[in-house]
Amino acid sequence: MSAVQRASPRSASSSGPVLLLGGGRGEATCGILYLAGFLRRNGVEAYVRLCDWDQNEEGLTRSLKRLMARVKPSVVGISLKWYLHVHRALVIARALKRIDPKVKVVLGGNSAALWWQQLLVHESVDDVVMGDGEVPFLALCRGDPDAPNRAHRGPDGVPVKVPFGYVQTEASADVFYSHFDDIFLSQLDLSGFSGWIAPGKGCDQSCVYCGGRRAAQRLSFGRPMPFLRPHESVRQDHRELGDRVWQYRYDFPGGSTEYLCDVWPGLDLSRQSTTYFLWGVPAPGLVAALAKTFHRVALVLDIGCFSQTQRQALMGASLLKPCPTDEALFATIDDCLRYPNLELEVSGIAGLPLATPAALAEEQRLMEQVLAKGCKVSYQRLQSQPGALVTSHAERFGMVSEAVTFDDFLTFFGKRKPGGAIPMVRFADAALEKAVTRNCARLDELLAAHAEREAPALTGRTRLEATTVTRSVALGDWLGAHVVPSKVAGAPVTVLRSVIGAGLACAPALDPRAFEDPMLQQGEAATAVLEALAACARPTTVDAASGRLMKKLAVDEGAALELIEHLVSKRFLSRA
């Protein structure tokens, strides 16, 4: 055992700063934002790095050193909600201990609670918060040895779990967003937040593929049933987000139409977009309420799978949440088509248990019919999720999971490249597995052909306009004072946000020799982006815009068109 591993974590107190980190690349769960606000309201100086942009362990260690020097935390919490972040979370924990052997490292989230025993084998992890984290984590930050909902190593080094002493319910009014001006260490990190609001918590369904099903909620969170949060707490979430985000996102437990309509009064959401993830048929009036309340609505409807026969068989076996019939689905589609500011996406999973050749044929027919209605369609193959019934007991369904145990997942994601594959659950019957794979290839071809028809190639006469929101910010505020040298901290950065949320930060006057960062467009590249947007400030043709770029930037036609096509693909430029 190394000297680093032998060092004991320092005792935390309410006066010691706390740092909360996302455990994976990109945006972590919004849970650490709720947690940071709760800590601040209870006298703990808490900071968040929500998004992990580092591409390798060397870059991760470098950025963590800067964060630790800036915050000087006594406790660091790492969000391990999503199982695919398990390897990354442990890499972060080891790096933190190398930087400061005495810092207390605490993991929390669904996957952390599931794997608490395996995680505590690693010397870099001091504690695991089980279930709802606000009160337990506050107690750990204050050095309370009797913190509830906690797993830790006992005197003999064996992992010990403290019984649940804190379980949130519909009466819990201590969870809401606050202190957004204080908890973020950079505007870049805040811009990476996609606006999640959690009207409720938990799930009362037992879908065969889900690691967050009802039984897992009871085991990991001590939560017997899901619940909706108090209206005022959810209203406070909206007020805190305000204009800081470009959209509000709601997940499945979003509540009834009546519930949301009781939250929204007094809030001006008319300039905001929303993305609402829903399963089942929308509650009466929900579609109309969303379209009336928000400037732009993206409704994502999860129908389980694209075969009605298979869908109903799974529901009949209590292996799938309530999902619509095809008839109810098309009634919903027709309702949504009445609202020009609403875009509907229908999603499902391919390769679920009880698949048959007839069900595979149904999948393709339904997808074709939904696309013909003008809706978006998305699907994914059945993935291995820890704690899911089909992962833990794949043989019951004639299937094989590519990962089952903690070590399976840790090894898989340790080898995985960013954006790489996810472990899958496949059919043991080789012929059926081949048929499912072949059918997925057909679905991919169908979606690709539809996308090409919906967004044909640009021509010289295609009319474009810039639909981008821009704002100016100082470099030190954008990347954080702990990242940027003082001599360039005041350099201006133009931040762009497209209508679908894509973002760019352009600093054309910032000399890369003075400071360079992969999260910035600098020099000629930044100038080109801003010139392209300026060329389309008023509706114009591709020919006119590319001609202006060729003249002002001294680039050839190919380079000008390539830039325009990229900006169109990310919706910084839209077809007029």
Contact by Cβ (8 Å): 399, 390: yes
Q: Per-residue pLDDT tens for 329-362?
A: 999 999 999 999 999 999 999 999 999 999 999 9
Pair (85, 231) in one structural domain: no
Predicted pLDDT of residue 3:
35
* pLDDT of 9 above 70: no
The order of strands in the sheet holding 46-49 is 46-49, 18-22, 75-79, 104-108, 127-129, 150-153, 159-161
Provide the pLDDT confidence category of residue 52 given band limits of 50, 70 and 90. confident
- Per the structure, the complete domain to which residue 373 belongs is given by 196-383
Predicted pLDDT of residue 20:
97
Predicted pLDDT of residue 203:
86
* pLDDT of 13 above 60: no
Pair (48, 92) in one structural domain: yes
Closest residue by Cα to residue 308 from 367, 375, 372: 367
Pair (207, 156) in one structural domain: no
Residue 519 domain flag? yes
Pair (145, 219) in one structural domain: no
Provide the pLDDT confidence category of residue 55 given band limits of 50, 70 and 90. confident
Predicted pLDDT of residue 443:
96
Predicted pLDDT of residue 2:
38
Instruction: Output b/e per residue, 323-337; b: 16+ Cβ within 10 A.
Output: bbebeebeebbebbe
CATH number at residue 131: 3.40.50.280
Query: 449: exposed, middle or buried (C-beta count within 10 Å: 0-12, 13-18, 19+)?
Result: exposed
* pLDDT of 4 above 50: no
Domain limit, last residue, from 111, 140, 161: 161
Percent of the chain at pLDDT > 90 equals 80
Pair (349, 205) in one structural domain: yes
Pair (85, 222) in one structural domain: no
Predicted pLDDT of residue 26:
74
- Compute the average pLDDT of residues 561-572: 96
* pLDDT of 14 above 50: no
Q: Which two tokens stand for residue 449?
A: 């052909």
Predicted pLDDT of residue 5:
38
Q: Kindly report which listed range (8-12, 382-386, 465-469) carries the lowest average pLDDT score.
A: 8-12
Predicted pLDDT of residue 248:
94
Residue 354 domain flag? yes
What Rg do the C-alpha atoms of the chain give, in angstroms? 25
Residue 429 domain flag? no
What is the length of the chain? 576
Q: Kindly report which listed range (26-30, 317-321, 378-382, 497-501) carries the lowest average pLDDT score.
A: 26-30
Q: Which two tokens stand for residue 31?
A: 């849970």
Pair (269, 369) in one structural domain: yes
Q: Per-residue pLDDT tens for 172-218?
A: 899 999 999 999 999 999 999 999 998 988 888 889 999 888 888 88
| CA-to-CA separations, 242 to 27, 106, 191, 520, in angstroms, rounded | 19, 31, 13, 26
- Compute the average pLDDT of residues 93-106: 96
Predicted pLDDT of residue 283:
86
pTM (2 d.p.): 0.93
Q: Per-residue pLDDT tens for 468-492?
A: 999 999 999 999 999 999 999 999 9
Provide the pLDDT confidence category of residue 10 given band limits of 50, 70 and 90. low
Predicted pLDDT of residue 498:
94
Predicted pLDDT of residue 66:
96
Predicted pLDDT of residue 255:
66
Pair (259, 372) in one structural domain: yes
* Tally of domains within the chain: 3
* pLDDT of 6 above 60: no
Residue 218 domain flag? yes
Average per-residue pLDDT for the chain: 92
Pair (120, 238) in one structural domain: no
